[in-house]
Structure 1
Amino acid sequence: MEVDYADTQEIEIRSLQTIQELEDVRRLESNIWGEHDSTPTHQTVTVVKNGGIMLGAYFNGKLVGFQYSFPGFKGQSMYLCSHMLGIDKMFRNKGIGEKLKQAQRREAIKLGYSHITWTYDPLESINAYLNITKLGGTCNTYMENCYGEMDDLLNNGIPSDRFLVEWPVLQREGKSYQWKETDMGFVQEKSLIQWEVDEKGFPIPSFSLPLPEQEHTKAFVAIPKDFKSLKEVNMEAARKWRLVTREIFIRLMKKGWHMTDFIRNPEGKMPVQFYMFSRK
């Protein structure tokens, strides 16, 4: 079924509480990630009764997306841990993830949370653009092989490295869009990871540049534009991207660099997009 983007304006987001609603979530989760590792309904029922949030996205009465989060604590500080966001594959890249995150923010405010945290794969450019640019999340922590070796449908075969995102719930605006008119040639030239393009049009890391000197205020790191497709056709190249970017991200953060933006380049033929790091 092809879904017209205009139709998704009719998406309804609502809080889920009943056993039947949460069982529908479990089935959707199984369709996305695989059956064997899905979250039991008895657990999600308990969580939503004890400070957690489960949100559902509905299209014509059918559940097509969900967002699941629960309370987290660090010392005396309480936050909302955003554990999982899933969208039916027929409804992805249509703005539903952003609708769910904004609804999550509103529900978090009602429950008294000050901020929300979650993790995502640094090489998934769609998630990076949503989390960093559109929502305005911040990220200064790299988690190597965060969940161990995962054998679900989306993560199988590659280390589960993650960025940890923090999102103040009272923050309403994302990053600016100052990069729309940027000379992408400059960003490409300065990227700490350089690449070649294979016969199928996918980028393969070729070499890395040294970290910028102390006087520089910006650093750029390329990642594949379509990491999911790259994994499907060339897992060796996908693993290489993981290891090369892992090294660069960890070194940058240890040297005091902070991720401040994600640049979705306007050149359709360029197979990469870019993180921007800055010094405080």
Structure 2
Amino acid sequence: MVPPLPVDVVVLEPDDLPAALALLSRVWGLPPGTQFVELHMARALLLAGEPLLGAYHPGRAHDPDALVGASVGFVGTHPGGLHVHSHATGIDPVHQHAGVGAAMKRFQRAWALDRGIAEIRWTFDPLIARNAYFNLTKLGAVGAAYLPDVYGAMGDPVNGTDPSDRVEARWDLTAADGRPDPDLDALVAGGAEVILSLDGEVWRGTRLVPTLLACVPRDIVALRRTDPAAARRWRLAARDTIGRALDLGYGAVGATRDGWWVLQAGAGGAAGPGTGAAVGNEAE
């Protein structure tokens, strides 16, 4: 267990941007001189008052040598009003899993609520188990929509050659923080169906039940390095199961540390499931 790292989270100033953008590029493994976000665009977002954030060692805010996390966000719109869209957050690999990301999300939350905004949205790769656990269980966001290949080819070391499928997380800032870790045995005993198993097998049933379970690899980033073809099969299996469930109105309402997703009927952003609908390939 990595001990928590105290940090000061602040809104970035223009002079902070080069170090923050370099950190994001380093986290995504981009070649030197390649920007994850272009400097001129980041400056424009700051001028517009958008939430570009930095996390620093305590008492050293705005010191580039003390920067451990950076986040780029902006205010977006949806039919119900406004939300903060958190585009990218990166934590120095030396300090990952030490609570820095949670501290940055708490600051984002306060920033949004101070402006009368009650929701934060962002996208994440459904195959990265640790991110699903953080987003759905630790924070308590809902995975509400599946976006196939939303960013196109990315080609960085984190994403590899996989299509850039993402799940949109929606975090209700007025709700209670976090959820208990899912009890998979209790869910199965209560009638939950497994639609994607640990060995990558896709469920072929034709009747959807209120609760669905899906498993993704514990470390897809390592699998992309060692077996890109297997990683791509997992991408398509997740699209065929988690993606279809979200399209049918299920919402992702929890995840375990080791890659199990919990999907609940009616908790997502699409229309509810129809009678006899299927999640597997047989629906094609």
Classify the TM-score, shorter chain: 0.7 to 0.9
Displacement after TM superposition at 1:195 (Å): 4.2
Matched with 2:27 is: 32
Of the three residues 184, 191, 194, the one matched with 1:191 is 194
SS of residue in 1 equivalent to 2:216: strand
Name the SS of the counterpart of 2:162 in structure 1.
Answer: coil
Structure with more strand by fraction: 1
How far the C-alpha of 1:89 sits from its partner, in A, is 1.3
1:223 matched to 2:216:
yes
**Could you give the per-residue CA deviations for residues 62-109 of structure 1, whole angstroms, max 9, x where no partner exists?**
111111101212357222111010011111122211111111101111
The answer to whether the 8 Å contact 2:253/2:264 transfers is yes
Taking the TM superposition and a 5 Å limit, the aligned residue runs for 1:132-147 are 132-147=136-151
Q: Distance in 1 between matches of 2:176 and 2:248?
A: 30
Alignment of 1:5 with 2:2, yes or no, is yes
Match of 1:70 among 69, 74, 78: 74
Partner residue in 1 for 2:40: 42
Deviations 1:223-251 (A, max 9, x none): 00111111111111100100011011232
What residue identity is the alignment partner of 1:5?
Answer: V
Give the TM-score normalised by the residue count of structure 2.
0.81
Structure 2 Cα separation of the partners of residues 185 and 113 of structure 1: 37
Which AA in structure 2 matches 1:32? V
Mark the CA change 1:12 to 1:5 in structure 2 (over 3 Å): closer, same or farther.
farther
Alignment match, 1:279: 265
Q: In 2, are the aligned partners of 1:12 and 1:57 still within 8 Å (CA)?
A: yes
4+ long deviations beyond 4 Å: 183-187
User: Percent identity at matched positions?
Assistant: 26
CA change 1:251–1:43 in 2 (3 A) is: closer
Q: Is 2:82 the counterpart of 1:86?
A: no
Deviation of residue 45 (structure 1)? 2.4
Is 2:142 aligned against 1:156?
no
Distance 1:182 1:42 in 2: 51
Aligned partners of 1:51 and 1:71 also within 8 Å = no
Q: Which amino acid aligns with 1:213?
A: R
Judged with a 3 Å threshold, the aligned counterparts in structure 2 of structure 1 residues 77 and 185 are, in CA distance, closer, same or farther, namely closer
State the aligned residue count: 256
- Residue of structure 2 equivalent to 1:16: 12
Residues 88 and 257 (structure 1), Cα distance of their counterparts in 2 relative to 1, 3 Å cut: same
Correspondence for 1:54:
52
For structure 2, the 5+ residue unaligned runs are: 61-65, 267-284
- Write the letter of the residue equivalent to 2:73: S
How far, CA to CA, are the matches of 1:126 and 1:90 in structure 2? Answer: 16
Query: How far off is 1:51 after superposition?
Result: 3.1
